A and B are shown apart, each in its own frame.
Chain A
């Protein structure tokens, strides 16, 4: 029996104190589709990045075709025949289809591109994907997403890839396009390629793959033949875990409504979302990556463009389309992208903490630095931020302490409605528990909290109600006690009803 096409054995990877992967064994045979399943943060992307040569594993070995495989980067991975199709396509939109297919492997003589040979290779790759008539001179950016994806797969074929890794390939496709993609996948399988299929949409996974592996907390917890298992068993494997004393309970009672969202529709997501949040209530928003949870809270806050619908803060009035106005109406927002837009990393703790509201410390534009420092020190204590002092640069803090400052900023701003987007991502367990307690305290003080999270246990244990989003729509909102984790996953992974296009 020949060696398997791709074999990973005992692969481990740590990032600082976080264990991303632990002794993972995974492989794919020729002519096989292997599904890689797991919740957000289970370690799928780390595994992929190791395969692509972005990260080197701390331990374990990899083989392609029986030969040791230790890629030093994406180029080395491609040269070894391993190609990645990421969720975010890497198409050069201004180049032609042909140039995109041959990107990085241009055929040339003395620096001049050999157009005829390029055209032949591109044509051949596209015919294998049953699109021989795609215009090679078309601008790639003008093609619909589904075709752009095909161009990227063609690029992999042109580079003679034998292992093709597809990361959430259907997340931005329509139902029909997804079906067409499955045809392509089956076809490639028939030609002897090994495919790794990563997706959250379990029904699709069951449809297209031969074998599966479930990752949870960096370990393979279940694997087997697709036809011999049930979706329920897979969901159980994905979510089953021990819950310790992670979730301190602070008693709080929801009061009168404070935030009313009506038919809120954004550019891609959300789509027609209705939502009411009460004072003293913690509302969780669950859903998969790309389901539109972040977009929903961003639209509420006025950071993302709103197509239609309205957001009202009860007793204050409608919220406009600018963060400045939202803040004036008592909304506060913690971004999931702490580095990118949450904090100004080159500034001090006090700068970041007081950025939204300098009025208490200023007279005619003149700042009282000492009063600001006293106040900042006060807030740091209240959120138990560990740092040397308010003047310390914020990039010297751990992620958890940075996040405490981001939340403290909303408290300093005196927001009544706190929109928290993934506030515990990338934070150690101890700090997570502290943030849960803080959120509970705030609810007890009558603040309304909207908590977006990919970590189901925290939603189940911290929130009063949980809403589940899928493909931009708010599918259901129920008291947390009426959900099981399986229900949430099922609701979030259910494919959208087939849309009738006219």
Chain B
């Protein structure tokens, strides 16, 4: 029995570690920029109210995308089309508002566009039995092209009621909300999603498929339907991120916005404990990962390192995160 007990203990330890690790990463990033500020920019504070608001705003968008990506990655998939779908949905929203649709209808159309894009991804992955990486690499271009086509490659300003266009505005001074409503929406959806993943048949199936698709098929799980639903769910969250982006751009839809967002989102999920081999993913971790990614980008801006260096730093972080994931896997399999 001793033989069986040892790896079990390690299992518990690795669970604790993978929950805590993303927080440590975030703290590390915060500490670095805070120290930087103390030493080289003593007259300004890194975590000023202004910067906090900026980070919150960015995190709402990346975090919303990361929610969907968490499910997709947990199911053993990947979605590279997030940035494009976000652009497509923000354009859909702006266009439908501009063409006179009511806010509710416009929102429905936006969510519909996101879900439809996810369905296309899911059906291609399962129907054609293609690798999700390749499918979504293709649809990344398709959806981006679509967004540019319907908008004639223009930014589309549109009027919108306050409730759907001030989601990322900082709360009134002295308000108990602390951060913009968008962040709270993400938090509420995260709680719902975490519950769905943990407590429903659907969630159980997602992890089963991601952990071992052959075993899931052998056990008679509806693998194809579940995967299609997973990508559709991803599209749903991306559409809401599109709504945020419309807020972020001051009531505009922009077909060229957020190229490369998928990398931040995937990095957020992996930093948060998601495994690119599937079967693992944590909603909480992904949100922490998303916060880390946006803090990093803001911190780079704060440190005035410029765009090229910022790219290098983010790139290094992504590789480092995936390396850590691989090391975890390897230790696990030994």
**Residues of A near any B CB (own CB < 8 A):** 303, 322-324, 326-328, 333, 335, 340-347, 351-352, 355-356, 358, 362, 365-367, 369, 386-388, 392-393, 395-398, 401, 409
Contacts and interface: CB of A to CB of B under 8 A. Distances in A.
Given A365-B202, A395-B332, 4 more contacts: A326-B220, A333-B218, A346-B212, A386-B1
Contact of B207 (A341, A347, A387): A347
A340 B211 CA distance: 10
A366 B200 contact: yes
A40 B3 CA distance: 27
Nearest to A298: B218
B199 A396 contact: no
B164 interface: no
B159 interface: no
Contacts of A351: 204, 207-208
A369 B200 CA distance: 9
Candidate in A345, A366, A396, A397 with the most chain B CB atoms within 10 angstroms: A396
Interface string B262-306: 000000000000010001100000000000000000000000000
Contacts of B280: 346
Interface residues of B, number: 30
Contacts of A343: 212, 215
Contacts of A322: 220
Contacts of A367: 199-201, 203-204
B7 A342 contact: no
A396 B4 contact: yes
Contacts, number: 97
B211 A345 contact: yes
Candidate in B8, B200, B204, B279 with the most chain A CB atoms within 10 angstroms: B204
8 contacts: A324-B220, A344-B207, A344-B216, A365-B201, A365-B202, A395-B332, A397-B4, A398-B3
A387 B4 contact: yes
A328 B220 contact: yes
B207 A369 contact: no
A253 B201 CA distance: 39
B218 A347 contact: no
Contacts of B218: 303, 323, 333, 335, 341-342
Interface of B: 1, 3-5, 7-8, 11, 199-204, 207-208, 211-212, 214-222, 275, 279-280, 332
Contacts of B217: 303, 323, 341
Contacts of A409: 219
A341 B279 CA distance: 14
A347 B8 contact: no
A344 B212 contact: yes
B278 to A, nearest CB: 9
B11 A358 contact: no
Candidate in B212, B216, B332 with the most chain A CB atoms within 10 angstroms: B212
Contact of B279 (A333, A347, A365, A396): A347
Contacts of B222: 324
Candidate in B8, B207, B279, B332 with the most chain A CB atoms within 10 angstroms: B8
Contacts of A395: 7, 11, 332
A341 B4 contact: no
A388 B7 CA distance: 12
A397 B1 CA distance: 10
Contact of A346 (B3, B200, B211, B219): B211
Contacts of B5: 388
B332 to A, nearest CB: 8
A355 B11 contact: no
B8 A396 contact: yes
Contact of A342 (B1, B215, B221, B279): B215
A355 B215 contact: yes
B214 A341 contact: yes
A356 B4 contact: no
Contacts of B4: 386-387, 396-398, 401
Nearest to A401: B4
A324 B222 CA distance: 8
B199 A356 contact: no
The 5 closest A-B pairs by CB, nearest first: A341-B214, A344-B211, A324-B220, A327-B220, A396-B8
Contacts of A324: 220-222
Given A344-B208, A367-B204, A369-B199, A388 B220 contact: no
Contacts of A345: 211-212
A393 B14 CA distance: 12
Given A335-B218, A365-B202, A396 B212 contact: no
Nearest to A389: B8
Nearest to A340: B214
A323 B217 CA distance: 7
Contacts of B204: 351, 355, 358, 367
A303 B213 CA distance: 13
B5 to A, nearest CB: 8
Contact of A366 (B7, B199, B212, B214): B199
A398 B8 CA distance: 11
A396 B207 CA distance: 18
